């Protein structure tokens, strides 16, 4: 069970990056559809749990150290090439978004130049990756419960200090910018682009566990925890719609309202989550090309980190808009391939 919890916690830590924990993504994909966004959250939970289980089991079955083997296994020779290229490209893109996000958080919370914030995050990421993969998994899993506690405190406070009715909240929510045409599409797109980014490391984590059942339970636990977080953050922002409407980092705004100290705790949680995601994405990106036990692994990490820093200077908001929207639609190809692989596996097992 401990190993399953580790895989689940690391899966959550990986996906809950800057946009998720800040509330910005959840606002655009769920809250902006009003009360229907809550149903979207439930659909996303089921999808994350099923896909998390399937990917972790595939990683365990093939005992892989890179996502490459699993992607070719589920996509075949031709579709595999396309999926492999897309996932590898997005791993790098998401890590770069985290560097830029760290710059924005340091700027908004502490008034530090965004470029210095980005440099701190790049140095931390490179330093962590020079450790080994077991240490990385443990680090990523540790930060998840801390974030859940901070979010839970903010939610409880928000529910008790709600100043508007549900119908007023619903009206304000529907005025916010949405990232999709309707609530159902919002939920699917959200799962899709998060999976495009998270699949690679989930496969690698599944590969660290020989028992497929343990790996699968880890994937389910991670999916359920993600879903609970989505629903909690969604509900928190919904009841405080009058406060968070139009704000860049909604959860940070709510935390600061409770007390400046809670604002600082939330900022630390946000930076921790960005760090988690940056480390996970860069690790999965680098092992796609160089095995961790090769001599050139460490120099490669440093070069990739520096290139990522240069790319992050484009800016947080611009990067989120460009990288994430493209990923959502392309991630559907990956989801379809995973579902087909799962159906094929069931048929093969039934035949044998």
Contact residues for 101 (Cβ-Cβ < 8 A; gap 6+): 17, 18, 19, 22, 270, 274, 316
Mean pLDDT of 226-244: 89
Report the distance separating Cα 70 and Cα 61, nearest Å.
9
Quick one: 1-350 is in which CATH superfamily?
Answer: Amino acid/polyamine transporter I (1.20.1740.10)
Residue range 144-162, pLDDT digits in tens? 677 778 878 887 888 888 8
Interatomic CA distance for residues 282 and 94, integer angstroms:
9
Pull the structure tokens for residue 96.
Answer: 């770069």
- pLDDT value for 217: 93
CA–CA gap between residue 241 and residue 244 (Å, rounded): 5
Q: Which residues contact 169 (CB under 8 A, 6 or more apart)?
A: 34, 238, 239, 241, 242
Q: Please tell me the predicted confidence (pLDDT) of residue 160.
A: 86
Domain boundaries, the chain: 1-350
Q: Is the pLDDT at 224 greater than 90, yes or no?
A: yes
Contact 213, 13 (CB under 8 A): no
- Residue 338 is encoded by which pair of tokens? 């995973």
What is the rounded CA–CA span in Å between residue 267 and residue 228? Answer: 21
pLDDT digits (tens, 9 = 90+) for 12-50: 877 776 567 778 888 889 999 998 999 999 999 999 999
| Integer Cα distance of 171 and 32 in angstroms | 9
Place of tokens 């396309």: 82
- 3-state DSSP call for residue 162? coil
Q: How far apart are CA 244 and CA 234, in angstroms?
A: 11
Q: Quick count: other Cβ atoms within 10 Å of Cβ 240? A: 26
* Res. 245 pLDDT band, cuts 50 70 90: confident
pLDDT category, 181, cuts 50, 70, 90?
A: confident
Residue 94: how many other CB atoms lie within 10 Å = 31
Q: What is the pLDDT of residue 42?
A: 96
pLDDT tens digits, 250-295 = 888 888 888 888 888 888 888 888 888 888 888 888 888 888 888 8
- How many other CB atoms sit within 10 Å of the CB of residue 334? 25
**Between vectors from CA 328 to CA 99 and to CA 220, what angle results, nearest 5°?**
85
**Mean pLDDT, the chain, as a whole number?**
83
């Amino acid at each position: 069970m401990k190993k399953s919890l580790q895989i689940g916690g690391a899966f959550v830590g990986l996906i809950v990056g800057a946009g998720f924990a800040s509330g910005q993504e959840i606002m655009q994909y769920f809250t902006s559809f009003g009360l229907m966004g809550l149903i979207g959250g439930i659909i996303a939970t089921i999808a994350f749990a099923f896909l998390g289980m399937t990917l972790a089991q595939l990683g365990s079955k093939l005992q892989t150290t890179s996502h490459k083997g699993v992607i070719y296994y589920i996509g075949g020779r031709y579709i595999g090439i396309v999926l492999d290229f897309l996932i590898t490209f997005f791993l790098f893109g998401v890590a770069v978004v985290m560097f830029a996000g760290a710059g924005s958080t340091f700027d908004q919370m502490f008034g530090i130049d965004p470029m210095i914030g980005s440099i701190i995050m790049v140095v931390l990421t490179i330093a962590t990756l020079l450790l080994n993969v077991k240490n990385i998994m443990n680090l990523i899993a540790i930060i998840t419960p801390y974030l859940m506690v901070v979010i839970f405190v903010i939610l409880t406070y928000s529910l008790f200090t709600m100043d508007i009715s549900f119908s007023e909240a619903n009206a304000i929510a529907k005025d916010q910018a949405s990232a999709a045409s309707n609530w159902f599409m919002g939920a699917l797109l959200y799962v899709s682009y998060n999976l495009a980014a998270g699949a690679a490391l989930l496969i690698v984590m599944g590969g660290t566990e020989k028992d497929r059942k343990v790996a699968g339970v880890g994937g389910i636990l991670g999916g359920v925890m993600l879903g609970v977080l989505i629903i909690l953050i969604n509900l928190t922002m919904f009841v405080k719609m009058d406060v968070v409407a139009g704000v860049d980092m909604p959860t940070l705004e709510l935390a600061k309202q409770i007390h400046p100290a809670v604002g600082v705790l939330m900022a630390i949680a946000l930076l921790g989550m960005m760090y988690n995601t940056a480390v996970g994405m860069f690790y999965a990106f680098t092992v796609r090309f160089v095995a961790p036990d090769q001599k050139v692994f460490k120099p490669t990490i440093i070069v990739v980190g520096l290139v990522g820093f240069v790319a992050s200077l484009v800016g947080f908001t611009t990067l989120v808009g460009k990288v994430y929207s493209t990923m959502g639609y392309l991630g559907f190809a990956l989801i379809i391939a995973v579902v087909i692989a799962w159906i094929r596996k069931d048929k093969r097992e039934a035949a044998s």
